Amino acid sequence: MSPQPTPEQLEVMRAEAQQDIRALRQQIGELDQASLDLILTRARSHYAWKDTPVTDAQIGRMYEIVKMGSTSMNGCPARFVFVRTQEGRERIAKSLKPANVPKVMGAPLTVIVAYDLDFWKELPRLFPHEDRRPMFDGKPAYIEDTAYRNSTLQGGYLMIAARAIGLDVGAMSGFSNAVVDEEFFAGTTLKSNFLCNIGVADETALFQRLPRFEFDEVCSFA
């Protein structure tokens, strides 16, 4: 375990962080519309894929983006299994609803977004300001809730990161978590959250964009 920073070191690190965010705000105020289109407003979920591999460099670049996304107490509970082999796809296929099998078997990369129920044991390293482990020790329901919620956030960061570097995504929940957990995480403290296919999409499988709620239907002020 890394040694805890001293109060003096923390003060220096805090000042550096504050200066960094000031510099960022001067460098860029907001994303342009084209960037927003790429990651969200015109992006689509995909179901078919071109035979273009996702490289190690692309996977590493996605993670470098994802790891900087905010999580509660910087707990970073998500764990990612990047499945690219035929054997790995067949193991995932055991868990899938029939309609989802070709989506995975044809994808160049399927990511199992999972979470570690022991994530809180790493808090002295990830949240060195104070020891927050007593908040979790002996509280399995709170651990599960925190890990699940924050790994979902990190899975969302992964999807945006993939789009940001020019790839396409198709998230999936039509599978048995129990089967995936048995196949990939038996005997560990990890549990699966959801699956996400990533690659270069075959857009000919797309249908029309589905409706969304208008602001006044789902938003309010208090």
Q: Is residue 20 part of a domain?
A: no
Q: What is the CATH number of the domain that holds 80?
A: 3.40.109.10
C-alpha span between 46 and 159 (Å, rounded) = 12
Number of Cβ within a 10 Å radius of residue 183: 18
pTM assigned to the model:
0.94
Q: Is residue 146 part of a domain?
A: yes
Q: So what's the pLDDT on residue 4? A: 77
Q: Is residue 48 part of a domain?
A: yes
Residues 6+ apart with CB under 8 A from 161: 61, 62, 63, 65, 66
Q: Is residue 150 part of a domain?
A: yes
Q: Does 3 score more than 80 pLDDT? A: no
Lowest mean pLDDT among 69-73, 86-90, 128-132, 185-189: 128-132
Q: Is residue 149 part of a domain?
A: yes
**Number of domain units in the chain:** 1
Q: Does 2 score more than 80 pLDDT? A: no
Q: Work out the percent of the chain whose per-residue pLDDT is above 70.
A: 99
Residues 6+ apart with CB under 8 A from 19: none
The rounded mean pLDDT for the chain is 96
Q: So what's the pLDDT on residue 216? A: 98
69 exposed, middle or buried (CB, 10 Å; 0-12, 13-18, 19+)? middle
Q: Does 175 score more than 80 pLDDT? A: yes
Q: What range does the domain containing 165 cover?
A: 36-204
Q: How confident is the model at residue 36 (pLDDT cuts 50, 70, 90)?
A: very high
In this prediction, residues 61-67 reach a mean pLDDT of 98
Higher-pLDDT residue of 147 and 11 is 147
Chain segment 4-18, per-residue pLDDT in tens: 788 888 889 899 999
Q: Is residue 102 part of a domain?
A: yes
Q: So what's the pLDDT on residue 129? A: 84
Q: Is residue 62 part of a domain?
A: yes
Q: Is residue 163 part of a domain?
A: yes
